[in-house]
Amino acid sequence: MNPTLPLSLILAYVAVLAALGSAVGALATGRLPGAKGLMFLLLGASGAAAVAAGLTALASAPAGGELPLGLPWLPWHVRLDALAGFFLMVVGVVVLAVAVYGPGYVRDFEHGQDPLSVLGAFTGLFVAGMLLVVLADDAFLFMVAWELMSLSSYFLVVYQHEQAANRRAAFLYLLMAHIGALSILLGYGVLAAFGGGFAFEAMRGAALSPLWASVAFGLAFVGFGMKAGLVPMHAWLPEAHPAAPSHISALMSGVMLKVAVYGFIRFTFDLIGQIQWQWGVVVLIIGSISALMGVLYALMQHDLKRLLAYHSVENIGIIFIGLGLGLIFLATGHPVAGVLGLIAALYHTLNHALFKSLLFLGAGAILHATHERDLERMGGLLRRMPWTGFYFLIGCISISALPPFNGFVSEWLTFQTALQSWQLSGGVLRSLIPVAAAMLALTGALAAACFVKVYGVAFLGQARSRRVRRARPVTFGMRSAQGFLALLCLLAGIFPTSLLQWLNAVPEQLLGRGLSAATAHGWLWLTPVAPEMASYSAPIVLLALVLLWWLSALVLRRGRVRQVRRCDPWDCGFTDGLPTARMQYTATAFAQPIRRVFGLLFHVDEKVEREAGGMRHQLHVGDRAWELFYVPVAQRIQALSRRVTRLQRGNVRVYLGWSLGTLLVLLWLIS
């Protein structure tokens, strides 16, 4: 390695090499003692190096270089600027947590029929692919790394291939990943055609007409939006995330979706040149629909991992709301509001990586201890897994955007961006943005309701199954990884100004200006635009909550508290004993009022059947996107396939005739 390289690039190379080393080391798992520990140790080193490289890049000038790989006339170019550094840090934090969590979680796979070496090898390649996507400075390396990321994650989704549902989910994911990759490749092709090269530096100088710029933007938006899971291109996400092992689900939802967000920001804010406000309108509308539909579908789910997957659709929608607002304001000549929208999107990108990874690791701990994913079979887990319950509660509060945790800050910044719509002159835009803000507010309320359901049904009350009653706390490493992410959720919520000082480097390098007013009043006050317009102090909110808790405890301990009469709780009219688990409120019952109100948005199949022992209730809530977008396409493809099969007559003379006809057509086209 060249010793004159900048420190940030050296650390980034170390991160990539450590991830590849983890993949190689995993192949020895099962044959060499200690290979599993080495595999996760190298994965943790990759995450730590990525965090260090990202922080160094945020505090220094951009650094670039070439790798002795690629084609003879097209070497691989790498570049680490503030934007790449931020996403490198996001990847590294989650990878580090997964490396601590993994050894305890994969114990169930050590003696199973699915080899642990395969899981470890593709995990290392998956991480290396994501890191290389962020580092790529030309379209060739970007697409190679993108395919490495997609293919390795496909093998992780199909890891437990004995189950037909996992094979189906993996095939759907692979199909949509390659459709998205083709769209991204065509978008880069437009920029390369006008820029005269595949390097990003050449693309930045491309002179695009508004029409071709819009074509390139549309292709990129479809490609990256499909990978990110925007509605209606989200169909693969709720299928693939539950199928993968839980620590892989944390990487896919917490990190891989953010790599797609990185690609969209790089393409739109950096490479494509002049921004058009119409692009922002499209991004804002799709983002708002994704946020609302994602949380509504999550409310209907009883599978915990599937529910969390739909919440990824919701939060990706929130990120794109911020990006859409940023595009609108930048294109209409309001750079301060535009930078605020980009900052809000970046902040929520980090926040979602933290709390969604925490929740998926918590779901994995529950699955590891109980072998259950169905909420209707859980209950009472807080007494059996107190630390997991505590950390999961922090994740629930964070994703519900409640102060003083991190989810509140990024959504508050998004609202503050929307409140700048008065600066716009167009009546359509000034009307559209408040509607999007109202949809975001409704999304936040529904998210809070959803996680009240999740936590209440899973962790409170009584156990609903024998497996849950026998649950025990998970290993120290699994608890430590959850605690690490929970602590980061709290710190990112309490000290937003400190984080914004680091984040400010991204718009300064990308757009030429930052958001200095947000941190002008020190670490105590966050003032996104101006202190007289809006301000927020997370430390004061935390102090007020602590004082309120202390005063409440003081009153209860020293004040005059009425003597409580202890008796059996209300038993719903049953008089033959204490309440049982069957008398508890269920997840289905909790979501029933919302299902009635928004019933037209779902495909509801509900049946009530009489049985010898009473009544049997069956409910299936399907995704309307399948009926509207995917089923018609599948039917047309099947019809076309049936027509094509008519060519297979089983007659050699017919085949020779088709071959001769094809040859004549090709000769005519060439001549």
pLDDT at 393: 96
Closest of 57, 125, 124 to residue 90, by C-alpha? 57
| Residue pLDDT, tens place only, 361-389 | 999 999 999 999 989 899 889 999 999 99
Range 408-428 average pLDDT: 90
pLDDT at 1: 43
| Residue pLDDT, tens place only, 554-574 | 877 765 555 667 776 666 666
pLDDT at 584: 79
Range 416-442 average pLDDT: 91
Same domain, yes or no, for 666 and 630?
yes
Task: Identify the band that residue 613 occupies on the pLDDT scale cut at 50, 70 and 90.
Answer: low
- State the virtual CA torsion across 519, 524, 526, 527 in degrees, nearest 10: -80
Q: What percent of the chain has a predicted confidence (pLDDT) above 70? A: 95
The domain tally of the chain equals 2
Same domain, yes or no, for 660 and 630?
yes
> Residue 652: inside a domain, yes or no?
yes
> Residue 647: inside a domain, yes or no?
yes
Identify the weakest region by mean pLDDT among 108-112, 340-344, 377-381: 108-112
| Residue pLDDT, tens place only, 439-490 | 999 999 999 999 999 999 999 988 888 898 898 999 999 999 999 999 999 9
Query: Does residue 160 have a pLDDT over 90?
Result: no
Q: Is 112 helix (H, G, I), strand (E, B) or coil?
A: coil
Q: Between 278 and 602, where is the model more confident? A: 278
Same domain, yes or no, for 632 and 656?
yes
Task: Identify the band that residue 649 occupies on the pLDDT scale cut at 50, 70 and 90.
Answer: low
Query: Does residue 511 have a pLDDT over 70?
Result: yes
> Residue 409: inside a domain, yes or no?
no
Task: Identify the band that residue 625 occupies on the pLDDT scale cut at 50, 70 and 90.
Answer: confident
> Residue 561: inside a domain, yes or no?
no
Cβ atoms of 257 and 312 within 8 Å: the answer is yes
Query: Does residue 605 have a pLDDT over 90?
Result: no
| Residue pLDDT, tens place only, 520-557 | 777 888 888 877 788 888 899 999 999 988 888 787 77
> Residue 593: inside a domain, yes or no?
yes
Range 31-37 average pLDDT: 76
pLDDT at 571: 64
Range 127-136 average pLDDT: 96
pLDDT at 475: 93
Cβ atoms of 276 and 597 within 8 Å: the answer is no
Distances from the Cα of 523 to the Cαs of 143, 315, 516, 536, 653, in angstroms?
41, 27, 13, 11, 81
Nearby residues of 95 by Cβ (< 8 Å), 6 or more positions away: 19, 43, 44, 46, 47, 50, 127, 251, 255
> Residue 1: inside a domain, yes or no?
no
Task: Identify the band that residue 41 occupies on the pLDDT scale cut at 50, 70 and 90.
Answer: very high
**What is the pLDDT of the chain when averaged over all its residues?**
89
Domain that includes residue 600, residue range = 586-609+616-623
The string of DSSP letters for 499-549 reads: HHHHHTHHHHHHHS---GGGGTTTTT-B-SS-TTT--B-HHHHHHHHHHHH
> Residue 648: inside a domain, yes or no?
yes
| Residue pLDDT, tens place only, 191-234 | 999 988 899 999 998 888 999 999 999 999 999 999 999 999 99
Distance, CA of 328 to CA of 281 (rounded, Å): 7
> Residue 643: inside a domain, yes or no?
yes
